[in-house]
């Protein structure tokens, strides 16, 4: 049914259910499954093009990157236990925009994402990542709403 599945994880308590939902739809056929977690640009560490002297040591960024890496690794482990082979990566940038760009780049046939129950104030301050993805995605978006 879906040949390329993009699974967006963020480490929230709902992440396990998002991965479970993705593994259920991945059971049909042999899709390519990509697990991704977004890191805010303010917390991104240097990449290969930058020289070590270009940035100062930034413990908060290292912690953010380590946390995001652990979230992706846990999701990959959960998928592997369900018999699903997947690849993981980290994206740098605003989550909604980055996920939509990744879906386009990977030619995703579906995005599986969670939905947090933000207050009205939270939606004003932070915005809704899932709403942004739904509004701009190049493919269907499957939103897990249980476990908030």
pLDDT digits (tens, 9 = 90+) for 62-96: 788 889 999 999 999 999 999 999 999 999 999 99
- CA angle centred on 112, ends 97 and 2, rounded to 5°: 110
The conformation of residue 49, written as its DSSP 8-state character, comes to: T
HSE-CB for 146 with a 13 A CA cutoff: 6
What structural domains and CATH numbers belong to the chain? 4-144 (3.40.50.620)
Q: How many CB atoms lie within 10 A of CB 7?
A: 31
Q: What percent of the chain has pLDDT over 70?
A: 79
Indicate the pLDDT class of residue 54, thresholds 50, 70 and 90: very low
pLDDT at 62: 77
Looking at the predicted structure, is the pLDDT value of residue 1 above 50? yes
pLDDT at 43: 67
- CA angle centred on 90, ends 63 and 82, rounded to 5°: 105
pLDDT digits (tens, 9 = 90+) for 105-135: 999 999 999 986 655 544 444 568 998 999 9
pLDDT at 91: 93
- CA angle centred on 31, ends 110 and 77, rounded to 5°: 95
């Amino acid at each position: 049914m879906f040949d390329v599945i993009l699974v967006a994880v963020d480490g929230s308590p709902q992440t396990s259910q998002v991965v479970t939902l993705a593994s259920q739809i991945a059971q049909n056929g042999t899709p390519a499954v990509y697990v991704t977690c977004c890191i805010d640009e303010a917390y991104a560490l240097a990449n290969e093009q930058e020289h070590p002297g270009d940035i100062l040591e930034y413990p908060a960024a290292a912690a953010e990157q380590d946390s995001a890496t652990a979230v992706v690794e846990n999701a990959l482990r959960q998928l592997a236990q369900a018999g699903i082979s997947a690849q993981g990566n980290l994206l740098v940038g605003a989550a909604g925009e980055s996920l939509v760009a990744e879906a386009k780049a990977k030619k995703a046939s579906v995005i599986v994402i969670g939905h947090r129950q933000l207050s009205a104030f939270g939606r004003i301050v932070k915005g809704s990542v899932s709403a942004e993805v739904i509004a701009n995605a190049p493919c269907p978006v499957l939103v897990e709403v249980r476990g908030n």
